[in-house]
Amino acid sequence: MTTASDIMHRGAQWIPAHETLDRAAQLMRELNVGALPISDQNERLCGILTDRDIVVGCVAMGHDPAKVTAGEMAQGTPRWIEADADVSDVLREMQDHQIRRLPVIENKRLVGMISEADLARHLTEDQIADFAHSVYARGATS
């Protein structure tokens, strides 16, 4: 059985909810990623911040990214998957919720992220086609 842990990108890092979006953008650049899980004061997932969120939800709205926090951008209920979940559960979670990035949690701690690229490396062509149709035909978030 292939698990979430088998296909995830290790080394994912939180951005604390109190950090500003300019700091989040710097961290994204340093890590070469387009999304960061947002953590509350107890290091629990409270959202995901994307580079698009910063541009569209802050800069394009005329707000100063040095004054807006990651927590202010967190919307909805964050989705995640346990590290030992089967890859079919990963795929279903991402399809059902139309998301392109999924944090991986083990023992209540962030251990990695799964992106579309991770899926592409580990799924069959038919599974990738089904994923793309379900996520992009209806419009994805994060």
pLDDT tens across 42-94, in order?
Answer: 888 999 999 999 999 999 999 999 999 999 998 778 899 999 999 989 989 99
Bridge-based pairing state of the strands 109-115 and 101-106: antiparallel
Under DSSP, is residue 117 helix (H, G, I), strand (E, B) or coil? helix
The reported pLDDT for the residue numbered 11 is 82
If one looks up domain 4-136 in CATH, what number appears?
Answer: 3.10.580.10
Q: How many residues does the chain have?
A: 142
Where do the domains of the chain lie? Answer: 4-136
The reported pLDDT for the residue numbered 20 is 98
Q: How confident is the model at residue 106 (pLDDT cuts 50, 70, 90)?
A: very high
pLDDT of residue 138 exceeding 60, the answer is no
The reported pLDDT for the residue numbered 119 is 84
3-state secondary structure 71-111: HHHCCCCCCCEECCCEHHHHHHHHHHCCECEEEEEECCEEE
